[in-house]
Amino acid sequence: MRAVVEEVECRSILTRSGIPGIDYALNPYVGCEHACVYCYADFMRRFTGHREPWGSFVDVKVNAPEVLRRQLRRLPRGLISFGTVTDPYQPAEARYKVTRGCLEELLGRGFPVSILTKSALILRDLDLLKALEGLEVGFTVTVLDERVRRAFEPYSSPSRARLEALEKLAEAGLKTWLFFGPVLPYFSDSWEHIDELFASAAEAGVDYVLVDRLNLYPGVWGRVRRLLRRAFPEALPAYEEYRRNSMIWCEELKAKAEEAAKQHRVGLRLAF
């Protein structure tokens, strides 16, 4: 089931961020059509009155560019991150161009910008991206197996399309990075998968790979467990083990990531 899209107006579009290294969060949408099963951002429902399942609704902040213009006049400069609780290039962006409008407002303003997405749609805005100072673009790549990707991220761009988009952005002279997260036990935590992903990241010319673990908050675990029972019952024991011994799993993941980064000469950052 695809998401129901509605237009809304916002009073503010830049919010102070609690994420280390990020000053402001900018989310042009509430909700996300990608409907990723592991998404932590479903807490946003309680701020909007939505009771529908996460991934089934999107609110488009149609006045975001003009609100951003007003806020930029009075806020001190700092790093603006697009996409902390939504994907700024989800399918609705092809029609509404809210993210593009916000990027246009940032031209010449002196605010560094970071964008995180799963969508190759970002290539549409390459003209703007090249004109922005202090820009970096990250793509989330969770798993390379397309069957698993479609199950966990049903309406997102294929992983190979994301890697191809990263390569095009790097070729255009932009600073790029790959977000390998959340790493999925059983599906993407093997040495073979990690080695292949870092090799692909190096080939795409990214500056670094940021690795993060899977956070199984109660709501997230409920959705993940239902998916596993339905589509991948053989993986359930690995997830139960992960829940019991996540610290050991994290140490093993760290060692694999460090070795892969060394072999493929790619920068590495850990978020856990």
Phi-psi region for residue 70, left (φ > 0), alpha (ψ -120 to 50) or beta?
Answer: alpha
Residues 158 and 229 in one domain: yes
* 127 is a domain residue: no
By the 8 A CB rule, do 39 and 93 touch?
A: no
What total number of domains does the chain contain?
2
Let me know if residue 129 belongs to a domain.
no
Residue 45's pLDDT band, with cuts at 50, 70 and 90, is: low
- Range(s) of the domain holding residue 103: 1-122
Do β-strands 175-180 and 135-140 pair in parallel, antiparallel, or remain unpaired?
Answer: parallel
Averaged pLDDT of the chain: 95
Asked if residue 237 and residue 107 are part of one domain, the reply reads: no
Same-domain status, 143 and 250: yes
pLDDT at site 47: 67
Are 93 and 153 in a shared domain? Answer: no
Are 161 and 220 contained in the same domain?
yes
Q: What is the pLDDT of residues 216-258, one digit of tens each?
A: 998 899 999 999 999 999 999 999 999 999 999 999 999 999 9
Output the pTM of the full model: 0.93
> Residue 54 — very low, low, confident or very high, per pLDDT cuts 50/70/90?
confident
Task: Cis check for the bond before 218: say yes or no (omega within 30 of 0).
Answer: no
> Is pLDDT above 60 for 180?
yes
227, with CB counted inside 10 A (0-12, 13-18, 19+), is: middle
Domain boundary among 73, 97, 122: 122
CATH number at residue 232: 3.80.30.30
Residues of 145-164 as b/e, b for ≥16 C-beta within 10 angstroms? eeebbebbbebbbebeebbb
Does the pLDDT value for residue 41 go beyond 80?
A: no
Give the per-residue pLDDT at 44: 66
Where is the domain boundary, 75, 98, 122? 122
pLDDT tier for residue 50 given thresholds of 50, 70 and 90: confident
Give DSSP secondary structure letters for 42-80.
GGGHHHHT--SPTTSEEEEETTHHHHHHHHHTTSPP--E
Helix, strand, coil shares of the chain, percent, nearest 5, are 45, 15, 40
How much is the CA Rg of the chain, to the nearest whole Å?
18
* Residue at a domain's end among 64, 97, 122: 122
Euclidean distance between CA atoms 44 and 34, whole angstroms:
15
Question: Percentage of the chain with pLDDT > 70?
Answer: 98
Instruction: Tell me the C-alpha to C-alpha distance, in Å, between residue 178 and each of 44, 77, 108, 165, 170.
Output: 25, 25, 26, 11, 12
pLDDT tens-digit readout, 87-120: 999 999 999 999 999 999 999 999 999 999 999 9
Is pLDDT at 140 greater than 60 in this prediction? yes
Q: Is residue 43 over pLDDT 80?
A: no
